[in-house]
Structure 1
Amino acid sequence: MTPSLAHGLNGSADLPIPLTYALVGAAWALTFSFAILLVAWRRPRLDPDAPGRLLPAPIRRLLDAAALRIVLAALGVAAAIVVGLILAFGSASPQRNPVPGVFYIYLWVGVMLASLLVGPVWKIVSPMRALHRFGCFVVRRDPEHGVFDYPSSWGCRPAVLGLFAFVWLELASPDPGSVAAVGWWLLGYAVVTLTGLALFGTVWAERADPFEVYSGLLARLSALGRRPSGELVLRAPLRNLAGTPVLPGSVALAATLLGSTAFDSLSALPGWRNLVDSWGGGTVFGTTLVRSAGLLAVVSIVGVVFTVAARATGGLTRAERAALPGLLAHSITPIIAGYIVAHYLTFLVEKGQSTLVLFADPFQRGWDIGGLAHFQVRYVLSEHPAVLATTKVLAVLTGHVLGVTAAHDKCLRVLPPRHRATGQLALMLTMVGYTFTGLYLLFGG
């Protein structure tokens, strides 16, 4: 059985949602936005330092146990070794090689959705971090420190470049499903990440590793948090989100993640495909150039519109207004999370099974590891389109409401009292626009 993968592997796209669902969701998004703005939320409530509820001591000890962390890190390294061996000795066809599926499904979607639930998964299982720690142990060096200090002016911009490189490979490159293309990308990622860790220490992973930064961003919406003392607690996700650090590149990070998902849906529309065929001239280079320009344009539009809307307020100095987009960038995270669920859930659940089947015989030796060759993919979501459509709309709507709430609470803290309503009106309308556009693309796709 071979997979038909939507993103990066030239398969069918996810099921579109019915227009009625899209219109109802858009109307509720608008209603919730102005209800939150004008009625329901009149004072700041989201304190990132709220104590939360302590997890039971046995659970805290288990989750923070060094032995557990070592085991998980070792599993991450083992998985990386398996992927490397399959890349080197497995089939060159993505229909027979599971690595592209691991890359696009398990890593890009599965790890990130897991981070929404249980916190920064990639930070714990990252093979790059584990190899760096082992190397530091061998040479007796503190992994926290590198040869140089990480420049604070870089912020998370290196991670933005890495994420854009990923979405370009997935959405604009000539052959995103190519085993060789995925392999070269992963090799480049490993070299850059290990070099960065050696030069700058673990701060490189925290701010420049695209997967760790993405995972950590979504982990801010997990109910799991930590007190300043380090103790694990259960805390309202929006309070965890309010503690998102403001770094140079935060707006570009959010725009890349949200804009690339929007472009993915846009690229499924017949009008865009016709445009690519017309402007691309029927050549690989021309088609790739048009897709690349389109991806960059959508990401830029998302970022520029948000920046302008966030700054559209009175009562502040020019410098204070310039700081607003960074202070409010965290409010896009729930919208990103909503689109991940709406856009990739079927991809993960169903195409993930197809990738699993390929592990039955990863080296084309006639094996049947674990009896996987006889596993039948269960299309548990595609066979229930009404449930799938409802899930999509609810995911987008929930992300919108949480995003508007996070932005509104921050505005109550940073805007002068006279401008707290009018000063965030442009931002609210922008976020409603993101939701309208996203629902339309999900409908049209």
Structure 2
Amino acid sequence: MTAVLAHGLGGSTDLPIPFTYALVGASWALTVSFVVLAFAWRTPKLDPDNPGRELPRWVTRFADAPVTRNVLAAAGVVFAVWVALAAFFGPSASSENALPGVFYVLLWVGLVAASLAFGPVWRVLSPVRTVHRSVCAAIGRSPAENDARYRNSWGYRPAVAGLFAFVWLELASGDPGSVAAVRTWLLVYVVVTTAGAFLCGERWCERGDPFEVYSTLASRLSPLSRDRPSGRIVLRNPLDHLGSMPVRAGSVALMATLLGSTAFDSFSAFLWWSRLVDGIGSPIGATLVRTAGLLVFVGFVGVSFWVASRATGGLRPEQRAALPGQLSHSLIPIVIGYVFAHYLTYLVEKGQATVILLADPMGRGWNLLGLGDAEVWYVLSEHPAASASIKVLFVLAGHVLGVIAAHDKSMRLLPRGHQLTGQLALLLTMVTYTFGGLYLLFGG
């Protein structure tokens, strides 16, 4: 059974993209970008308030029924307890324990896939939310009673700190694959998130819980959403829904952390970088170098996007200052495209290995549902050409959707005389992200 490697999920070396695929993908990205800029619509067409197409009423009734919500919430708690068995009583070797796979594969990548398919699922599955709501119900208090304590100036910053702590553990710490390291991280997460929920209400979960913010961000590209006036579940153009993301403090830092860390994960697979880090005699020194590399990638994405977003004329200073946050949602497709391009193999194949290990969380020979005798089907590893094509398509699709979202929003925000020239810097920056992502996937 394939083990989770030393830095969490492993590098991009399992299925590198052939140079031809990367070159073709980059060329298409460049071509499509300028076609969008030159020939796309000249007035905004994406509407966050578009009601979409209503699904039958029974779909909303079923999704909102207390029994449905309670069953899903209970399932989240039961799953958390099940994983805790592996964390505290399971084998100490990471290759034999399900905890690292749950943490790095099912939670980090699987949560994105589930949120794309069904919406912000962590709101329902979060064990912390369930415990908080249960205690509030027991003492007769509204879960949102302390929402006002969460300051608007905090925005997404607590979630950004949590997400950076996650990627730091995976990519920069000394032993990210160890059961003890993951267990400690999750214990701190549960304590901080639970305390935040009780002190600042459900608003902490919405804006401060890293996994809920991550899930909600991914759900912005889901075709399923809610009609605001009626609350009914509707089918909507995902790009319409994308523009409904609230702009809050830390929006750009949130995107930079997600995109920059995934790029650094690919970069860390380069042989010369591995030799450089391995050549450092001190474990602390190696951790510091990896941390510096991670910060450079996150900082590059954040600073380059911030500068490019503001590089337009005809705006007052306060309007220009608001542009990076108002355009930050356009990075969501690029983030998601790159996450799937980089981690799809791990989700499909190491996800299977993790589920098999979950059938026996404490390593006592259990064979629940007959999974103890199951074997991993390495469907992507056995078809490298198809896998490489899928990777390029994910990166390219994310780029195209991001460019379209940025273009449409720019039509709303920029003055008429600067609507095309004002987008050039941002367009070139997005092309750089795509070229860089393909190069890193190829080079790794």
CA contact (8 A) 1:83 1:99 kept: yes
The residue number in structure 2 matching 1:232 is 233
Kindly provide the CA deviation profile for residues 261-292 of structure 1, in whole angstroms up to 9, marking residues without a partner as x.
Answer: 000000001122133234xx221111001001
Secondary structure (helix, strand or coil) at the match of 2:234 reads: strand
Q: Does 1:47 align with 2:47?
A: yes
SS at match of 1:400: helix
Question: In structure 2, the residue corresponding to 1:95 is in which secondary structure?
Answer: helix
Could you tell me how far apart the structure 1 residues matched to 2:13 and 2:5 are?
Answer: 8
Q: In structure 1, what is the Cα distance between the partners aligned to 2:35 and 2:270?
A: 33
Equivalent pair of 1:86/1:97 in contact (CA under 8 Å): yes
Deviation at 1:41, TM superposition (A): 2.0
**AA in 2 matched with 1:38:** A
Structure 1 residue 252 corresponds to structure 2 residue 253: yes
Q: Distance in 2 between matches of 1:307 and 1:210?
A: 22
Is the 1:155–1:249 Cα contact (8 Å) retained in structure 2?
yes
The CA distance in 1 between the partners of 2:9 and 2:54, in whole Å, is 44
Q: Partner of 1:233: helix, strand, or coil?
A: strand
Q: Distance in 1 between matches of 2:5 and 2:346?
A: 7
Distance 2:26 2:338 in 1: 14
Q: Distance in 1 between matches of 2:14 and 2:316?
A: 46
Q: Matches of 1:402 and 1:366 in 2, distance apart?
A: 47
Contact kept? 1:96, 1:362, Cα under 8 Å: no
Partner residue, 2:383: 384
Q: 1: distance between equivalents of 2:386 and 2:147?
A: 53
1:263 aligned onto 2:252: no
Alpha-carbon distance between aligned partners in 1 of 2:99 and 2:325, rounded to the nearest angstrom: 36
| Secondary structure of 2:96 counterpart | coil
Alignment of 1:69-108 (within 5 A): 69-108=69-108
Q: In 1, Cα distance between the equivalents of 2:313 and 2:11?
A: 49
User: For 2:6 and 2:32, how far apart are their aligned partners in 1?
Assistant: 33
Contact 2:9 2:105 in 1 (8 A): no
Deviation string 1:140-186 (CA, Å, 9 cap, x unpaired) is 10001228521000000000000000000000000001101101100
Return the alpha-carbon distance in structure 1 between the equivalents of residues 402 and 101 of structure 2.
31
State the Cα distance separating 1:9 from its structure 2 match: 5.5
Output the TM-score relative to the length of structure 1. Answer: 0.97
1:361 match: 360
Contact preservation (8 Å) 1:4, 1:12? no
Q: CA deviation at 1:364?
A: 2.5
Q: Taking every aligned residue pair, what percent have the same amino acid on both sides?
A: 62
**Pair 1:153 & 2:134 matched:** no
Q: SS at the partner of 2:176? A: coil
AA aligned to 2:346 is F
Equivalent residue, structure 2, for 1:220: 220
Once the two structures are superposed, what CA deviation does each residue of 1:282-322 show, in whole Å capped at 9, x if it has no partner? Answer: 21111001001110111001100000000000001111111
SS at match of 2:94: coil
Counterpart residue number, 2:318: 319
Aligned residue pairs: how many? Answer: 443
Give the Å deviation of 1:11. Answer: 7.4
- Decide whether the 8 Å contact of 1:171 with 1:291 is kept in 2: yes
CA separation of 1:424/1:303 partners in 2, compared to 1, >3 Å: closer, same or farther?
same
- Contact 1:6-1:12 at 8 Å conserved across structures: no
| Helix, strand or coil at the partner of 2:436 | helix
Gapped runs of 5+ residues in structure 2? none
**What letter is aligned with 1:251?**
V
Alignment of 1:266-305 (within 5 A): 266-278=267-279, 281-305=280-304
Tell me which residue corresponds to 2:3: 3
Alignment of 1:133-152 (within 5 A): 133-146=133-146, 149-152=149-152
- Looking at structure 2, the residues matched to 11 and 96 of structure 1 have their Cα atoms a distance apart, in angstroms, of 20
SS for the counterpart of 2:130 is helix
Match of 1:177 in 2: 177
- How far residue 411 of structure 1 moved from its aligned partner, in angstroms, is 0.4
Q: Runs ≥4 in structure 1, deviation > 6 angstroms?
A: none
Q: Which moved more, 1:7-16 or 1:424-433?
A: 7-16
How far, CA to CA, are the matches of 2:406 and 2:2 in structure 1? 44
Query: Residue type of the partner of 1:198?
Result: F
The root-mean-square deviation of aligned C-alpha atoms, in Å, is 1.4
Shift in Å, 1:91? 1.3
Contact 2:4–2:177 under 8 Å retained in 1: no
In the alignment, what sits opposite 2:305?
Answer: 306
Residues in 1 aligned to 2:310 and 2:2: alpha-carbon distance in whole angstroms: 49
Query: How far, CA to CA, are the matches of 1:268 and 1:61 in structure 2?
Result: 48
Question: 1:316-349: per-residue Cα shift (whole Å, max 9, x none)?
Answer: 1111111100000000000001011101111000
Q: Contact between 1:7 and 1:104, CA under 8 Å: does it hold in 2? A: no
Once the two structures are overlaid, the 10-residue window that deviates more, 97-106 or 247-256, is 97-106
CA contact (8 A) 2:277 2:289 kept: yes
Q: Is the 8 A contact 1:4 1:11 kept in 2?
A: no
Measure, in 2, the Cα distance between the counterparts of 1:299 and 1:105: 21
Cα distance in 2 for partners of 1:334, 1:12 equals 20
- Can you list the C-alpha shifts for 1:393-437, whole angstroms capped at 9, x where unaligned? 111000000000000001000000000011110000000000000
Distance 1:368 1:197 in 2: 37
Does residue 427 of structure 1 match 2:426? Answer: yes
Deviation at 1:86, TM superposition (A): 2.0
CA distance, structure 1, for counterparts of residue 357 and residue 431 of structure 2: 41
Tell me, yes or no, if the aligned pair for 2:251 and 2:328 is still in contact at 8 Å: yes
Corresponding letter in the other structure for 1:93: A
Q: Cα distance, 1:371 vs. partner?
A: 2.1
- In structure 2, what is the equivalent of residue 20 of structure 1? 20
SS in 2 for 1:203: helix
C-alpha deviation, 1:62, in angstroms: 1.2
Partner of 1:241: 242
**How far apart are the structure 1 equivalents of 2:371 and 2:36?**
50
2:403 aligns with 404
